[in-house]
Amino acid sequence: MLTDLTIAEARDGLRAKQFTAEALTLEHLHAIEALNPRLNAYLSVGHAQAMEQARAADKALAEGDTRPLLGIPLAIKDLFCTKGVRTTAGSKILMPFVPPYESTVTANLLRDGAVFLGKTNMDEFAMGSSNMTSHYGPVENPWKRRQDPSAVLVPGGSSGGSAAAVAARLAMGATGTDTGGSIRQPASFCGLVGVKPTYGRCSRWGVVAFASSLDHPGPFGRTVRDSAILLGSMAGHDPKDSTSADVAVPDFEAACSRSIKGLRIGVPKEYRSDGMPGEIETLWQQGVAWLRDAGAEIIDVSLPHTKYGLGTYYIIAPAEASSNLARYDGVRFGLRVDGPELRDLYERTRAEGFGAEARRRIMIGTYVLSAGYYDAYYLRAQKVRALILRDFTEAFEKVDALLTPTAPSAAFAQGDKSDDPVTMYLNDVFTVPADLAGVPAASVPGGLDRDGLPLGLQVITRPFDEETMFAVAAALERAAGFAALPTLRAGA
């Protein structure tokens, strides 16, 4: 089935005229029609637009156009503003919002010929690790437990819809954003490759802001090569974003074929958590062995401030979010709940427009920035953040990459972990430090747990050294030979 192809394979197939872009897109649209009502991965599907883009791609292909994503159907997380297409950020407060502009990242993908199938579901304003906080309902993980196939599992979050769509073959690749782990953790839960590049590698212009200093747009792919192809198109300096890095975009795809012989791989002892299943530890050791076999040198390292990452994150992210979300006030766009006075307009609109988790984080953020608490919380957290970065910088003097587990568990069921917010926050323990430090990190599927659920391995490298990250990730991918398929998928 065309939907089983990788992006690299589809690209070759299109160029070799084995099938048309129209056929490729149509097959995906049929698959979405069949499976999305159950998965709820997509919030909106743009049939007409996708077919138009696919037909245009076919025309260009016939003329010998060799753009890297020509005719490739992708899913776009509903956090990216897409011109003329409703963008909700998974929230009620943006339900009526149709952006009059295209985000830089999605414009880059369109520039390179991609076809957009639709916008994917997500935790509201990217706040969550399970996609359960979306106003538009949860997403079902296409993977099922062997022991208990009726349990509905979460795909992870906040980019749950994108992950589920790619895993279920309802898209060949997808965009996501990673602020505390929101690409890597769902990638791990859904058996995908998920990449959080260096901070500033991809522009944030037109991406609905959650936590400005932590938001990283990045790709989902079913293979390392696919995600490298996607990142190559998404990345690039954007003068409209002051935090966009003015550095050239290397050939990420080529880096996937690099040998890792002689590379030094660090294994940080702190990447363990209480109650972490033994299988994850085992997989981690397996990953170390794979890399050693591929010629890398393994070195034990220490990142002593790792355990403070979550606390640091849950001060800084809500603080920035509380300010970024102040613009949702019912005046210029979005939901409006009227009231006799201005104060009523604001309070009612925001009470009704924001879900519980978003309200909770806005409250946390407002509190930690408020008078008397700034030094004790926000300032302190930014200092601990500096120490977390320093841990990485010092480690990278001894090693070229770090290998860790991606998540402290496999995908859990809807309904688990929902009582206590802190329990949910602990999902991000291994992903958060790389967000705080801005260093590139990718999750690669390493294997399955005893329940048949995917487990991911995380590779972290120096700032702007995604090439080494892709090289190591590709080596892991080759060694792991991960070929398992999710139960719920196109054509199954």
Partner 1 sequence: MGYALQGRSGSWEVVVGLEIHAQVISQAKLFSGAATAFGAEPNSQVSFVDAAFPGMLPVLNRVCVEQAVKTGLGLNAAINKVSRFDRKNYFYPDLPPGYQISQYEHPIVGKGEVEIECADGSTKMIGITRLHLEQDAGKSLHDQHPTKSYIDLNRAGVALMEIVSEPDIRSPDEAGAYVRKLRSIMRYLGTCDGNMEEGSLRADVNVSVRQPGEVAYRTRCEIKNVNSVRFVMQAVEAEALRQIDVWESGEEVRQETRLFDSGRGVTRPMRSKEDAHDYRYFPDPDLLPLVLDQAWIDDLKARLPELPDAKKTRFMTEYGLSVYDAGVLVAEQATALFYETVAKGRDPKLAANWVTGDFFAALNSTGRTIDDPPVTAVQLGLLLDLMADKTINGKIAKDVFEAMVETGEDPASIVDRKGLRQVTDTGAIDAAVDKIIAGNQDKVAEYKSGKEKLFGFFVGQVMKAMQGKANPALVNETLKRRLT
Partner 2 sequence: MALDPATVRRIATLARIRMDDAEVTTLVGELNTIFGWIEQLNEVDIAGVDPLAGAAHMALKLREDVVNDGGYPEEILFNAPDRNGDFFAVPKVVE
Q: What DSSP character marks residue 308?
A: G
CA 91 to chain centre: 18
**242 is an interface residue for partner 1 by CB under 8 A:** yes
Evaluate whether 461 touches 469 at the Cβ level (below 8 Å). Answer: yes
**278 is an interface residue for partner 1 by CB under 8 A:** no
Piece of 20-28, 185-193, 198-206, 414-422 that binds partner 1 (CB under 8 A): 198-206
**189 is an interface residue for partner 1 by CB under 8 A:** no
Q: Where are the alpha helices (DSSP H) in 129-219?
A: 160-167, 184-189
Residue 453 backbone dihedrals phi, psi, to 5 degrees: -100, 145
Strands 115-120 and 73-77 turn out to be: parallel
Site string for partner 1, 363-382 (x = CB under 8 A): ---x--xxx--x---x----
Q: Going by C-beta distance under 8 Å and a sequence separation of 6 or more, which residues neighbour residue 386?
A: none
Other CB atoms within 10 Å distance of the CB of residue 451: 17
Site string for partner 2, 8-47 (x = CB under 8 A): ----------------------------------------
The single residue among 200, 217, 408, 445 that binds partner 2, judged by CB under 8 A, is: 200
**352 is an interface residue for partner 1 by CB under 8 A:** no
Strand partners of residue 213: none
Alpha-carbon torsion angle 173, 176, 180, 186, nearest 10: -40
Catalogue the long-range contacts made by 96-102 (C-beta closer than 8 Å, 24 or more residues apart).
96/333, 96/334, 96/335, 97/333, 97/334, 99/206, 101/206, 102/206
**359 is an interface residue for partner 2 by CB under 8 A:** yes
Q: Which residues are catalytic?
A: 77, 158, 182
Q: Which does 56 bind (CB under 5 to 8 A by kind): partner 1, partner 2, none?
A: none
Q: Which does 81 bind (CB under 5 to 8 A by kind): partner 2, partner 1, none?
A: partner 1
**360 is an interface residue for partner 2 by CB under 8 A:** yes
For 102-114, b/e burial (b = at least 16 CB within 10 A) is: bbbbbbbbbebbb
The token duo for 251 is 């050939």
Q: Which does 387 bind (CB under 5 to 8 A by kind): partner 1, partner 2, none?
A: partner 2
Other CB atoms within 10 Å distance of the CB of residue 491: 13
**97 is an interface residue for partner 1 by CB under 8 A:** yes
**389 is an interface residue for partner 2 by CB under 8 A:** yes
Piece of 95-103, 280-288, 296-304, 454-462 that binds partner 1 (CB under 8 A): 95-103
Site string for partner 2, 324-353 (x = CB under 8 A): --x--xxxxxxxx-xxxxxxxxxxx-xx--
The single residue among 34, 342, 363, 422 that binds partner 1, judged by CB under 8 A, is: 342
Q: Looking at this protein, which amino acid is placed at residue 84? A: G
CA 216 to chain centre: 8
Residues in 135-154 that interact with partner 2 by CB under 8 A: none
**250 is an interface residue for partner 2 by CB under 8 A:** no
Number of residues that bind partner 2 (CB under 8 A): 71
Q: At what angle do helices 21-39 and 160-167 cross, to 10 degrees?
A: 120
The single residue among 379, 415, 450, 492 that binds partner 2, judged by CB under 8 A, is: 379
Give the residues lining the site for partner 1 (CB under 8 A): 80-81, 87, 89, 94, 97, 99-101, 103, 204-209, 211-213, 239-243, 319-320, 322-323, 326-327, 329, 331-333, 342, 346, 366, 369-371, 374, 378
